[in-house]
């Protein structure tokens, strides 16, 4: 259908009453400008409160609250289709941030709804009015809600974005979001401007909704407003191509109309084929069900015969019972699996224990739910050991150890197939009365996707193991990654050297005295975790969330904590020699007595942090936020403080002067600033607290600023 033309009124008198229009841009240009303005308004309404919320989240003087569940759901809904990594676990944000980020969702939706309302009722949004553009139906009236939903919801956004998404999702470009953005922009532009092979270059969304985008600056004819659409429709009908007799499909249809017997024959053949296919399919389905029932009946009969050998009156010897146990495992039957787990949990015949363990390991992952329940039962019985005799305690301990060994071996045998396995709230550590007879050993394995929430993994060995997998799409850092949940687990004294714990959930996990040297904890969730006396030498903690975590006495030498969040973390007596902490959130952290010699704290947020008696020799603190920090008795010799904000910081007893370097302290390197005078050069100490005369003299002689002490 041709695009309707709008005729001007030729009445001279009426023209004289209209204000003369200045030279305007072409309609196509104004349409594009109006569309860009509409998108800009929507995007800006979301980005503005989001950006302010991000800034508020960096403030240490604001109360922290858990992230709004609406925001968590929205985040996952957006990130999942875009293959972005989802942030799992507890996350605390500043109180205003919760409100502002919620507003960042509501505001774009409200503005979009208001624009759609104006477009449906008046034919123009506010930007369209500014640029003199109007959308009308075939009758020349505003398109209404049905037309707008079809035009905007399906034609303009759903179809183009679906095409772009399918091409991106199933091509080499996945999961690169930048390529999808460019592809989506190209498809939207092509759809909005009309495709090159179209004569009138009319947009697809206008064709679907039967609407027209017209120039609102040119008034329609006052007498025959409705005639122009009818004339255009007649022209379109007249120019519509008619089916040719040479067309194969049209010719076939004509032949079928002339020979109805041929049509009946074709319909009969099609009906017979359909009926035959249904009969064959039904027969195959019935046969499969019969085979399944027969197999189940056979398994039940075999299981019943095997169970009889465990009766006290059966007279079967241990060898016969071992054969029966292995035969049960071969059945791959849920009833047989439960019987074997129950037998392992209750048997007093420990000569059969090894055979039962072997049988359960051969069954594999499917028996883990039954083993989990048995483990919880045995562990609960042992927790009430004071009510049991020493012999009963020893018996339960041996049964629990057998259960633990089976779980351990299944995880080893089924390496890399553990996604979705639930091993929560069980005991995989056996230490009663100071004796340790079982140790979980899962070194260099793929144990990703396991649910270890509140599991006792004390003393376990996970050296070089991977707790995160690439997911079904085979790509890392996407929404479907297999991530192990270790929230609330007890992992004291566990060995996690070189383990991959990237993005793993470790909320309130007890990792005290554990070994995490060179472990990959990139973007891990360690909110409220206990890392006291933990070895984290060379560990990668970039982007990790350690809000409220305890790292008292931890060894963080050479660890990477770039852009990590340690809000209100406790790091008293921690060793962080040479640690990388640029752009890290360290507000309200407690470093009392810690060693940060040679640490990189460039642009870190240390507002209201407690750094009393802390060694900061040679530390780089350039442009760091030290507002309200406590530096009492801290050693700041050779530290680079240029560009820092020290308003409200307490320097009582702090050491600024650089003593001669001890040759034994080779880890301390003097900052490469050229001269010592650059350490505090340009730093404004006007609002700093408790500066004594000697400190003021040093500050002034080294280029610092203070109105009372410096001339």
pLDDT at 582: 96
Q: 448 vs 271, which has greater pLDDT? A: 448
Measured between alpha carbons, how far apart are the two ends of the chain, in Å?
84
pLDDT at 177: 86
Place of tokens 């919320």: 53
Residue 77: other Cβ atoms inside 10 A: 10
Q: What's the token pair of residue 290?
A: 């019969």
pLDDT in tens, 540-578: 999 999 999 999 999 999 999 999 999 999 999 999 999
Of the chain, the percentage scoring pLDDT greater than 70 comes to 83
Window from 111-115, 142-146, 348-352, 412-416 with minimum mean pLDDT: 348-352
Please, are residues 101 and 78 in contact by the beta-carbon 8 Å criterion? Answer: no
- pLDDT of 357 above 50: yes
CA–CA dist 476, 456 (Å, integer): 29
- pLDDT of 245 above 50: no
pLDDT at 298: 72
Half-sphere exposure of 160 (CA within 13 A, CB side): 25
Q: What's the token pair of residue 595?
A: 């060693």
pLDDT at 19: 43
Q: Where are the domains of the chain?
A: 23-235, 269-414
Radius of gyration of the chain (CA): 37
Window from 239-243, 279-283, 291-295, 556-560 with minimum mean pLDDT: 239-243
Cα separations (Å) of 560 from 319, 330, 504, 538?
A: 58, 50, 17, 7
pLDDT in tens, 9-32: 444 444 444 444 445 788 888 888
The values of phi and psi at residue 622, to 5°, are -60, 130
CA–CA dist 219, 496 (Å, integer): 76
Please, are residues 6 and 214 in contact by the beta-carbon 8 Å criterion? Answer: yes
pLDDT in tens, 72-117: 888 888 888 888 877 655 577 888 998 999 999 999 999 999 999 9
Ordered DSSP codes for 586-614: -TT-B-TT-B-TT-B-TT-B-TT-B-TT-
For the four alpha carbons of 216, 220, 222 and 224, in that order, the dihedral sign comes to negative
Q: What's the token pair of residue 412?
A: 């080893």
pLDDT at 388: 79
Average pLDDT over residues 253-272: 68
Q: Which of 120, 194, 129, 127 is nearest to 156 (CA)?
A: 194
β-bridge pairing 468-469 and 482-483: antiparallel
Cα separations (Å) of 660 from 92, 599, 637, 668?
A: 44, 19, 10, 12
pLDDT at 84: 83
Window from 253-257, 443-447, 491-495 with minimum mean pLDDT: 253-257
Place of tokens 């023209």: 15
**Contact residues for 512 (Cβ-Cβ < 8 A; gap 6+):** 492, 493, 530, 531, 532, 533, 534
Cα separations (Å) of 267 from 255, 262, 271, 277, 278?
A: 15, 9, 6, 15, 17
pLDDT at 666: 43
Window from 127-131, 270-274, 355-359, 595-599 with minimum mean pLDDT: 270-274
Peptide bond into 57 cis (omega under 30): no
**Contact residues for 31 (Cβ-Cβ < 8 A; gap 6+):** 131, 133, 192, 213
Q: 173 vs 525, which has greater pLDDT? A: 525
pLDDT in tens, 466-503: 999 998 888 888 888 999 999 999 999 999 999 999 99
């Amino acid at each position: 259908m041709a695009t309707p033309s709008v005729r001007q009124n030729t009445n001279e008198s009426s023209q004289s009453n209209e204000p003369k229009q200045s030279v305007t841009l072409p309609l196509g240009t104004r349409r594009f400008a109006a569309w860009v303005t509409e998108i800009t308004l929507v995007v800006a309404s979301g980005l503005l409160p989001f950006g302010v919320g991000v800034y508020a989240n960096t403030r240490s003087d604001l109360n922290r609250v858990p992230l709004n569940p609406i925001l968590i759901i929205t985040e996952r809904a957006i990130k999942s289709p875009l293959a972005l990594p989802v942030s799992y676990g507890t996350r605390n944000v500043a109180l205003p941030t919760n409100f502002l980020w919620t507003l960042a969702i509501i505001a774009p939706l409200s503005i979009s709804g208001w624009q759609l309302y104006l477009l449906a009722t008046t034919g123009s949004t506010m930007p369209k009015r500014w640029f003199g553009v109007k959308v009308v139906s075939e009758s020349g009236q505003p398109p209404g809600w049905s037309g707008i939903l079809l035009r905007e919801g399906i034609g303009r956004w759903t179809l183009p974005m679906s095409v772009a998404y399918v091409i991106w999702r199933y091509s080499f470009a996945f999961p690169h979001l930048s390529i999808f953005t460019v592809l989506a922009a190209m498809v939207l532009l092509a759809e909005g401007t009309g495709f090159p092979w179209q004569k009138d270059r009319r947009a697809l969304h206008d064709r679907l909704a039967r609407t027209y985008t017209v120039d609102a600056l040119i008034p329609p004819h006052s007498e025959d407003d409705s005639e122009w659409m009818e004339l255009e429709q007649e022209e379109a009908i007249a120019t519509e191509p008619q089916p040719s007799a040479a067309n194969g499909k049209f010719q076939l249809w004509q032949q079928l109309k002339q020979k109805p017997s041929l049509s009946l024959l074709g319909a009969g053949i099609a009906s017979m084929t359909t009926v035959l296919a249904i009969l064959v399919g039904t027969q195959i389905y019935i046969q499969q069900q019969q085979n399944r029932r027969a197999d189940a009946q056979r398994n039940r009969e075999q299981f019943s015969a095997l169970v009889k050998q465990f009766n006290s009156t059966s007279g079967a010897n241990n060898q016969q019972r071992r054969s029966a146990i292995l035969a049960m495992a071969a059945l791959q039957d849920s009833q047989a699996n439960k019987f074997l787990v129950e037998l392992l949990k209750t048997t007093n015949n420990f000569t059969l224990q090894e055979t039962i363990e072997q049988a359960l390991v051969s069954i594999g992952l499917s028996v883990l739910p039954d083993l989990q329940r048995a483990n919880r039962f045995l562990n609960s019985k042992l927790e009430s050991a004071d009510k049991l005799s020493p012999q009963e305690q020893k018996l339960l301990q041996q049964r629990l150890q057998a259960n633990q060994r089976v779980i351990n071996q299944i995880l080893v045998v089924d390496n890399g197939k553990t996604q979705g396995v639930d091993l929560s709230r069980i005991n995989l550590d056996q230490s009663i009365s100071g004796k340790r007879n079982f140790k979980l050993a899962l070194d260099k394995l793929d144990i990703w996707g396991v649910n270890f929430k509140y599991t006792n993994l004390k003393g376990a060995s996970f050296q070089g193991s991977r707790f995160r997998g690439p997911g079904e799409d085979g790509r890392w850092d996407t929404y479907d990654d297999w991530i192990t949940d270790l929230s609330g687990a007890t992992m004291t004294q566990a060995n996690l050297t070189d383990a991959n714990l990237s993005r793993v959930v470790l909320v309130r996990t007890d990792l005290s005295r554990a070994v995490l040297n060179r472990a990959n904890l990139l973007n891990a969730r360690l909110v409220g975790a206990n890392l006291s006396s933990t070895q984290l030498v060379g560990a990668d903690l970039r982007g990790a969330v350690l809000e409220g975590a305890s790292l008292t006495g931890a060894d963080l030498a050479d660890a990477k904590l770039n852009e990590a969040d340690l809000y209100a973390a406790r790091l008293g007596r921690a060793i962080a020699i040479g640690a990388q902490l640029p752009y890290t959130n360290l507000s309200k952290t407690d470093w009392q007595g810690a060693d940060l010699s040679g640490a990189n704290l460039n642009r870190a947020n240390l507002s209201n942090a407690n750094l009393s008696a802390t060694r900061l020799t040679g530390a780089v603190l350039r442009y760091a936020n030290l507002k309200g920090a406590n530096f009492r008795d801290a050693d700041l010799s050779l530290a680079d403080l240029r560009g820092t904000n020290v308003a409200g910081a307490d320097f009582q007893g702090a050491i600024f002067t650089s003593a001669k370097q001890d040759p034994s302290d080779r880890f301390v390197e003097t900052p490469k600033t050229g001269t010592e005078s650059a350490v505090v050069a340009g730093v404004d100490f006007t609002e700093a607290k408790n500066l004594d005369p000697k400190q003021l003299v040093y500050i002034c002689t080294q280029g610092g600023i203070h109105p009372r002490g410096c001339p």
